[in-house]
Amino acid sequence: DTCCSETFGGLFLSTQFWNTYTGLESEGQVLPANSWTLHGLWPDFCNGSYTQYCDLNRQYDPAPSPNTTTGTANGTRVPPYTGPSIDTFLHPFGKFDLLAWMSKYWINQGAPSKNLWAHEFSKHATCYSTFDTPCFGPDAQPHSDVVNFFETAITYFLRHPTYDWLSAAGITPSNKTAYTLDEIQWTLTQASGAVPYLGCTGPRFNETAAGKGSQDNGRTVLDEVWYYFHAHGRPQDLKYKPVDADSVGSDTSCAHSKGAVWYYKRTKGSEAAA
């Protein structure tokens, strides 16, 4: 039964951002203190590949990225959504506490957070078998799948408190002290039970003054973590086995050299009061 056991992929990821600004601070969209933010909950195949925008009848993304189902020119076009925004789907359920949490911890950059929620549901949730509409039964309230996906993604995020795990090991955001990838990855591996993927942006280490002449071309600004799992049954049931990122692909885009990774503080005015 595809509703009782995830059958479209077999592997799934709980993903988080460490951004330092939102670009919409003037509108009150700021980052939470002492916490990473939720990115999403993604289904993958066991080789690390994935599908996207699997049900265009549930396409609520106002700015699809990519704009085809395959990410290539010969894929099916994903039309921009122009209907009521996805946050309104939660109103008939009375899920205002859920919306308040999402507005604090599930934060977009450069666009309203509700656009990120719509993107994550439309691109990723539609590619799980267990979040498929028929799984909720013929009498289900419209958008029960959306509510269930949001609540499930949040639960995995809460079970992986990246900021707290790093802070307990003395790894805190700093504009003065850089860290070594191994110490960050080891800390999160011990806490989560498997090697996570760590994503970095910014300049490559061998393009920086500190890395001049190095062969290390990894990037130097920490901004993302992905925790991998295999589900026993439905991801919603929270019965899962942590999976090492390096067993299905790369475990980082960050530089490996000592003291090469920056975990920057949030920009002034971009973080809510603690």
Active site positions, annotated: 39, 120, 124
Q: Please give the helix or strand (H or E) that residue 207 lies within, else none.
A: none
Q: Which residues lie below 8 Å from residue 197, measured CB to CB, with a gap of 6+?
A: 13, 224, 225, 226, 228, 245, 249, 250, 251, 252
CA–CA distance, 36 with 226 (Å, rounded to integer) = 12
Q: Which residues lie below 8 Å from residue 151, measured CB to CB, with a gap of 6+?
A: 98
**C-alpha radius of gyration, the chain, whole number:** 19
CA–CA distance, 30 with 21 (Å, rounded to integer) = 7
CA–CA distance, 46 with 8 (Å, rounded to integer) = 10
Quote the tokens at residue 260: 């090469």
Contact 240, 229 (CB under 8 A): yes
Contact 177, 225 (CB under 8 A): no
CA–CA distance, 30 with 22 (Å, rounded to integer) = 6
Residue 24 CB burial class (10 angstroms; 0-12, 13-18, ≥19): middle
Four-CA torsion 53, 57, 62, 67, nearest 10 degrees: 40
Quote the tokens at residue 203: 């300049």
202: nearest Cα among 182, 183, 178: 178
CA–CA distance, 241 with 228 (Å, rounded to integer) = 9
